[in-house]
Amino acid sequence: MSDRILMGHGSGGRMMHELISSHFAPAFGMEGMGDAAVLELREKGRLAVSTDSYVVSPLFFPGGNIGELAVNGTVNDLAMVGAEPLYLTCGLIIEEGMLIADLERIISSMARAAEEAGVRIVAGDTKVVDKGKGDGLFINTAGVGVVPEGVSLSPKKIQEGDVIIISGEMGRHGMAVMAERSGLSFDPPLMSDTTALNGLVRVMVKAAGAGLRAMRDPTRGGVATTLKEFAMESGLAIEMDEERLPVPPGVRGACDLLGLDPLFVANEGLLLAVVSDDVSQYLLTEMKAHPLGSGACVIGRALSAPAGKVLLRTSIGGTRIVDMLEGGQLPRIC
């Protein structure tokens, strides 16, 4: 038997069935070969649905790999609307010639990440493309969750005077991948922050109630792009204080070396929340008691004007307008 993926593994026939039944189904606890899973939905509430494809290069990077990234990323997309993530699907596009051992490691990571996040991978699909028509592995995960009654988050709910909270340090995922890709090493090593945030979100939803207006995880495009989305969708301005931005020294050093701005660097285990000022202190206390929120802090606030703009108050006292990422400073980071 080949130790590499062949075109026949994507044919729908015997080789694909064996690949699935010997490698994927046991890892994910799946039964049968049907194309759709049927699930009891015990929880009450509205449905949250999301999708994300992962094309990160390289597939393995310090602190993680494409598999756990694909699980955590979709869990987080659901968590950002206040949903309890329940079910994921997994679509694999494998390049002919991929080592089956690498695929197995990635699948194991997905299974472990799903277990840690408390979600089930319930449906999957496997395609194989010719050598030179893919890049090792692309993974799509789609997710289904339930938004508890009473929870309704949207940038449209942001009000003047609300504060912006960040859950921890910025820029770790993007710089870990870029360092790996550039062949740079740092001491201590830069590690991706990939993790599932649904546990932290559960604490936040409980602590802040209706004071929690909106959440988003600043992945591709980084903190600046997410704040710009908040500004545009709310019709308000978002002001942030440069001095308060939690950029760890390793990320700052790597950004300096590679000519990147940490404001635009991707994160995969970080969230930005906009909350009413009156609940912010209690919320911060509750967040800090959670392992993923121990570094939570306020980085800015919503202002009435200039509408749709993000302002950065610099450490030397000036103010500059921050726009979205132009072009592609960090390709294939997730």
Least distance from C-beta 174 to a second copy, angstroms?
Answer: 10
Site for a second copy in 253-292 (CB under 8 A): 264, 266
175 CB burial (10 A radius; 0-12, 13-18, 19+): buried
Supply angle C-alpha 295, 292, 171, rounded to 5. Answer: 65
Site for a second copy (CB under 8 A): which residue of 188, 259, 318, 327? 327
Site for a second copy in 183-222 (CB under 8 A): 216-217, 219-222
Least distance from C-beta 221 to a second copy, angstroms?
Answer: 3
For a second copy, which is the closer residue by CB, 91 or 211? 91
Q: Which two tokens stand for residue 247?
A: 């950029």
For a second copy, which is the closer residue by CB, 80 or 284? 80
Site for a second copy (CB under 8 A): which residue of 233, 241, 242, 277? 233
Q: By rule CB under 8 A, what count of residues binds a second copy?
A: 87
Q: Residue 3, interface with a second copy (CB under 8 A)? A: no
E strand map for 148-235: 163-166, 212-216
Site for a second copy (CB under 8 A): which residue of 1, 3, 40, 317? 40
Least distance from C-beta 220 to a second copy, angstroms?
Answer: 3
Give the end-to-end CA distance of the chain in Å, rounded to a whole number: 32
Site for a second copy in 77-136 (CB under 8 A): 77-78, 80-81, 83, 87, 89-93, 122-125, 127-130, 132-135
Least distance from C-beta 313 to a second copy, angstroms?
Answer: 22
Yes or no: say if 216 and 230 are a contact pair by the CB < 8 Å rule. Answer: yes
Site for a second copy in 61-80 (CB under 8 A): 77-78, 80
For a second copy, which is the closer residue by CB, 98 or 284? 98
Phi, psi of 306 (to 5 degrees): -75, 130
Long-range contacts of 185-190 (CB under 8 A, 24+ apart): 186/250, 186/253, 186/254, 188/250, 189/62, 190/62, 190/250, 190/251, 190/254
Site for a second copy (CB under 8 A): which residue of 27, 37, 257, 298? 37
Contacts of 70 (CB under 8 A, 6+ apart): 52, 54, 90, 110, 139, 140, 141
